[in-house]
A and B are shown apart, each in its own frame.
Chain A
Amino acid sequence: MAHSESTGAPLLAVMDLRVNYGGIEAVKGVSFAVEEGEMVCLIGANGAGKTSTLKALARMLPAGGEIHYAGRRIEAAPPHALIGMGLALVPEGRGVFARLSVAENLAMGAYHRRDGEIAADLERVHELLPRLRERARQLAGTLSGGEQQMLAIGRALMGRPRLLLLDEPSMGLAPLMVQKVFEVIRTVAAQGVTILLVEQNARLALDVCNRGYVMESGRITLADTAASLAADPRVRAAYLGE
């Protein structure tokens, strides 16, 4: 997939993003950017505003500020239009369609598409996640948590994303499964998909990503390469348990 408009501007640029829940400000004006082909993480403690930020990017929450994506302002775009622009969300808690089969879930990922390459993309997703092929006819609700996470990622890939927003993919999974999920994410990134990852498991996130932002009570407090963040004593103390 070649993307023509390489004007030097980042694929995603967020300026002064604000999210309010009633009177409570969950995100207090954050700004950050993700370059094409990068893998960027937002880390931070529970309640720091990471998921709210991601949800606002996916237009699932009303938000103030500017969101520039692929040269367009999307802060007023309807949420269902984003996947057509190549912006896919893997929601928190996976959000698989429990009473649909695995195959039907994957088909829903290509809901907005009317091209003839859906079957080829399904083959590609099956190659990446062979377990989904084995379980194609099973109901998504009967899969294990890890398999559901794989399915959620596979479903998002069926939409041919350019930028993939991942919300806490490790949540509630056994350590071994977390490793597997992150391997998949790394492979997806290697195939050229830009990734913005929200994660509480800071060690893992900094391990796979190029750059990272640390969020604390609704603000970005640190921004650096993943390696420097992992070496930063403040990060080590607060998020890596040292």
Chain B
Amino acid sequence: MRQPKQRALIGLALIGLALAILPLVVGAALGNTWVRVLDYALLYIMLALGLNIVVGFAGLLDLGYIAFYAVGAYLYALLASPHFGLHLPAWVILPLGALVAGVFGVLLGAPTLRLRGDYLAIVTLGFGEIIRIFLNNLNAPVNITNGPQGIARIDPISIAGHPLSRPLEIFGYTLSGVTLYYYLFVVLAIGIIFVGIRLQDSRIGRAWVAIREDEIAAKACGIDTRNVKLLAFAMGASFGGVAGGLFAGFQEFVSPESFGLLESIMVLCMVVLGGMGHIPGVILGGLLLTLLPEAFRHGAGPVQQALFGKVLLDPESLRMLLFGVALILVMLYRPAGLWPEARHRRELAEK
């Protein structure tokens, strides 16, 4: 009994250590651009974990998920920028963002309770676009969102009076701003992972899975499907709201174009590609779909230069092409995702 527990603790300590030195190594070897990429990867992992609750656990296909990210981001932007002259601390705004996004989740969920599958997808897609279009146009008659120009000069997130955007000197060693953000995001991502795991094993988690598998049988088992579905929308949305707030503080700028349909689809791809309903798989999906395109963006030009002596194809368009091919290959050869739940994989193999 003691041995495995000790081993698990040692394993966790090693993972913690690896996560702690990762940005330092990456920063030294590849430069701070890549630490910034890691920061974005962590934000996407948080988003994917939130969407995983809705899509993976409860089986509700949501194509407008990025709207909750937008709600969180704009809430932060409005409450901590010169736009309204408000400068609330992040520790007030982030929980508030979770709450407000959760309320938006319920607002979206309530009219779609009877819908499933494709129909639900279409309605949620519409909802995502409505939010984006509102953000784009709420600059007149009263300027709330500053329209397409977006909101700039947002306050960075500060801890103990130190804005994370500014480098910090510790023991003669300078930690860059992106590294400081990395540490904050890692801690929050771990928190979100922990909440996700606890939810999965909870009574609510079981109810979500039951609804995903068979809604009528779930009702017959005494599950209040309406409330349980709304809870899935609210929980998923609140994860997105937190990630959105972090995004706004990190970028110090938000505009509606960051929250388009493509972003929703990207996050959905992370969930599906990694392994729907399986938290480690979803993390892997988030990581791969942020890191690989980025690596490709930087790598494709030089590689072509070396092979053909000139750049034949624009890396940007090539990136989307390869992305599509990769998706098709995964769906052909690993239909349950790259790292699905062990028993789900078994079931598919037996079919």
A80 touching B347 by the CB < 8 A rule? no
A108 touching B219 by the CB < 8 A rule? no
Q: Which B residues are CB-close (under 8 A) to A83?
A: 220-222
Minimum CB–CB distance for B56 against chain A, Å: 11
Q: A100-B213, A108-B210 are in contact. Are A89 and B347 (CB under 8 A)?
A: no
Q: Which A residues are CB-close (under 8 A) to B224?
A: 78, 80
With an 8 A cutoff between CB atoms, is B169 at the interface?
Answer: no
Q: A99-B213, A139-B347, A142-B350 are in contact. Are A111 and B220 (CB under 8 A)?
A: no
Q: Which B residues are CB-close (under 8 A) to A141?
A: 347
A112 touching B222 by the CB < 8 A rule? yes
B221 touching A79 by the CB < 8 A rule? no
Kindly identify which residue among A99, A101, A109 contacts B221, using a CB–CB cutoff of 8 Å: A109
Minimum CB–CB distance for B231 against chain A, Å: 14
For chain A, residues 60 to 111, give those with C-beta under 8 angstroms from any C-beta of chain B.
60, 78-84, 88-91, 95-101, 104, 107-109, 111
Kindly state the separation between the CA atoms of A81 and B346 in the bound complex, as whole angstroms.
35
With an 8 A cutoff between CB atoms, is B116 at the interface?
Answer: no
Kindly state the separation between the CA atoms of A159 and B343 in the bound complex, as whole angstroms.
26
Number of B residues, CB within 8 Å of A: 23
With an 8 A cutoff between CB atoms, is B71 at the interface?
Answer: no
Chain A 8-34, CB-CB to B under 8 Å as 1, else 0, gives 000000000000000000000000000
A155 touching B213 by the CB < 8 A rule? no
For chain B, residues 319 to 347, give those with C-beta under 8 angstroms from any C-beta of chain A.
343-344, 346-347
Kindly identify which residue among B207, B217, B222 contacts A95, using a CB–CB cutoff of 8 Å: B217
B209 touching A139 by the CB < 8 A rule? no
Number of A-B contacts (CB under 8 A): 83
Q: A80-B224, A139-B346 are in contact. Are A98 and B213 (CB under 8 A)?
A: yes
Minimum CB–CB distance for A161 against chain B, Å: 10
With an 8 A cutoff between CB atoms, is B137 at the interface?
Answer: no
With an 8 A cutoff between CB atoms, is A58 at the interface?
Answer: yes
A79 touching B350 by the CB < 8 A rule? no
Kindly state the separation between the CA atoms of A146 and B121 in the bound complex, as whole angstroms.
34
With an 8 A cutoff between CB atoms, is B112 at the interface?
Answer: no
Q: Which A residues are CB-close (under 8 A) to B344?
A: 99
| Secondary structure dominating the interface of A | mixed
Kindly state the separation between the CA atoms of A13 and B212 in the bound complex, as whole angstroms.
33
Q: Specify the chain B residue showing the minimal Cβ separation from A88.
A: B220
Kindly identify which residue among B212, B219, B343 contacts A79, using a CB–CB cutoff of 8 Å: B219
Q: Which B residues are CB-close (under 8 A) to A229?
A: none
Kindly identify which residue among A96, A104, A112 contacts B214, using a CB–CB cutoff of 8 Å: A96
Kindly state the separation between the CA atoms of A111 and B213 in the bound complex, as whole angstroms.
15
With an 8 A cutoff between CB atoms, is B36 at the interface?
Answer: no
A80 touching B222 by the CB < 8 A rule? yes
B221 touching A91 by the CB < 8 A rule? no
B213 touching A97 by the CB < 8 A rule? yes
Most buried by A among B212, B216, B217, B223: B217
Minimum CB–CB distance for B329 against chain A, Å: 24
Kindly identify which residue among B212, B223, B343 contacts A111, using a CB–CB cutoff of 8 Å: B223
For chain B, residues 139 to 198, give those with C-beta under 8 angstroms from any C-beta of chain A.
none
Kindly state the separation between the CA atoms of A107 and B223 in the bound complex, as whole angstroms.
13
Q: Which A residues are CB-close (under 8 A) to B346?
A: 139
With an 8 A cutoff between CB atoms, is A156 at the interface?
Answer: yes
B223 touching A95 by the CB < 8 A rule? no
Minimum CB–CB distance for A144 against chain B, Å: 12
With an 8 A cutoff between CB atoms, is B206 at the interface?
Answer: yes
A99 touching B347 by the CB < 8 A rule? yes
Kindly state the separation between the CA atoms of A58 and B217 in the bound complex, as whole angstroms.
11
Most buried by A among B219, B223, B343, B346: B219
A156 touching B220 by the CB < 8 A rule? yes
A residues at B contact (CB < 8 Å): 58, 60, 78-84, 88-91, 95-101, 104, 107-109, 111-112, 139, 141-142, 152, 155-156, 159
Other than the given A82-B222, A98-B214, 9 more pairs (CB < 8 A) read: A58-B219, A80-B221, A84-B222, A89-B216, A90-B220, A98-B347, A111-B207, A142-B347, A159-B222
Would you mind naming 6 contact pairs between A and B with Cβ atoms under 8 Å apart?
A58-B220, A60-B219, A82-B220, A139-B343, A141-B347, A159-B222
